[in-house]
Amino acid sequence: MENNSNIWTEKYRPKKFEEVVGQEDIIKKVQNLAKAMNIPHMLFAGPAGTGKSTLALIVVKDLFGVHWKENYLELNASDERGIDVVRQKVKDFARTKALGNVPFKVIFLDEADALTKEAQQALRRTMENFTGTCRFIMSCNYSSKIIDPIQSRCVVFRFKLLEKKDIEKRIKVIAEKEELQIDSSAVEMLYEASEGDCRRVINLLQAASSISPLISKELIDTLVSSAKPTDIKIVLEYALSGDFLKAKEKLLDVMLRESVSGTDIIKAIQKEVWNLQIDSELKVKLTEKTGEIEFRLVEGSDEFIQLEALLASFVLAGRGM
């Protein structure tokens, strides 16, 4: 078994359009564009682990064949995100002619939503001036962070989280090639833990296989650092009953015992709110408060203080305040 990080992720990356799971409509449209040998600028937007970078690579290999490396430049915009990158690397590559029968090269900007506004403004002119010799494929998690002038120059494809049947297909392929035995309950656990992110599924399988070729739900559970719904339910019930101290102690115990981050706790709370035996209107108010705290955590606030504030709002809600 190969244990190096991300070895499996690359190993089981689909190599052809037919191997990509999920996103059937997008695959069909992009494949037709590639066959026509005249792709437009494209923007792939959607959650992580849904096939954006993989599809870009498949398009390039389909277009250029064995010469794909000479006609392809990949930049991770989260590492190289300033205006100098656009002015130097991107322009230098874009202005040269392509090798082979295809009249243009391809530049792939991964995590393009991390580009600064200045870099994006510089990029819009580059996309116009070098359309004859270069096409851009950009991927991002949040298309709202891409300026409108760039979006209007691209065909936008919006990726969705993979469904359970799609995740199961990839698990089956990996299990056969790696000679793993995976319980149906483990498959369910993998899907729940991944939340539609195929990359996370592959990494979990790689970690589990290094322990045992028999993959069970219990084994996956030991690798997934997430709060159990029963524990979160106890925390919320303590809070709604007015016992703030017990709710705080239980929450701290869950976070330390399971090594769960504040953002993961927030997600678990948001799911569990709707399973509580309380009025629907109160559920809506608590969900709104949960969203506010999640925003504060993302902006860099102290995790435990913000979660305590959330528990305090649950206590007040339980008292009808």
CATH class of domain segment(s) 229-318? mainly alpha
Mean pLDDT rounded to a whole number for the chain: 87
3-state SS class at 181: strand
Contacts of 95 (CB under 8 A, 6+ apart): 130, 133, 134
Question: How many Å apart are CA 204 and CA 220, to the nearest integer?
Answer: 7
- How would residue 2 be classed by pLDDT, with cut points 50, 70 and 90? very low
Question: How many Å apart are CA 57 and CA 59, to the nearest integer?
Answer: 5
Q: Note the pLDDT of residue 26.
A: 93
CATH topology for the 164-223 domain: Helicase, Ruva Protein; domain 3 (1.10.8)
pLDDT tens for each residue of 127-140: 888 888 899 999 99
pLDDT tens for each residue of 223-271: 876 777 888 889 999 998 999 999 999 988 888 877 788 888 898 898 8
Q: Note the pLDDT of residue 45.
A: 95
Q: Note the pLDDT of residue 15.
A: 87
Report the percentage of the chain scoring pLDDT > 90. 33
- The encoded tokens of residue 117 equal 């506004």
pLDDT tens for each residue of 66-97: 889 989 988 886 666 667 766 777 888 888 88
Residue 147 has pLDDT above 80, yes or no: yes
Domains 164-223 and 229-318 share a fold: no
Residue 4 has pLDDT above 60, yes or no: no
pLDDT tens for each residue of 178-220: 999 998 888 988 998 888 889 889 999 998 998 989 999 888 8
Nearest Cα neighbor of 321 from 290, 284, 282, 295 is 282
Domain boundaries, the chain: 23-158, 164-223, 229-318
Question: How many Å apart are CA 14 and CA 122, to the nearest integer?
Answer: 33
pTM over 0.85: no
Question: How many Å apart are CA 170 and CA 291, to the nearest integer?
Answer: 33
Pairing of strands 181-182, 214-215: parallel
Q: Note the pLDDT of residue 1.
A: 40
Question: How many Å apart are CA 256 and CA 252, to the nearest integer?
Answer: 6
Superfamily name and number for 23-158: P-loop containing nucleotide triphosphate hydrolases (3.40.50.300)
Q: Note the pLDDT of residue 260.
A: 80
Sign of CA dihedral 237, 240, 243, 246: positive
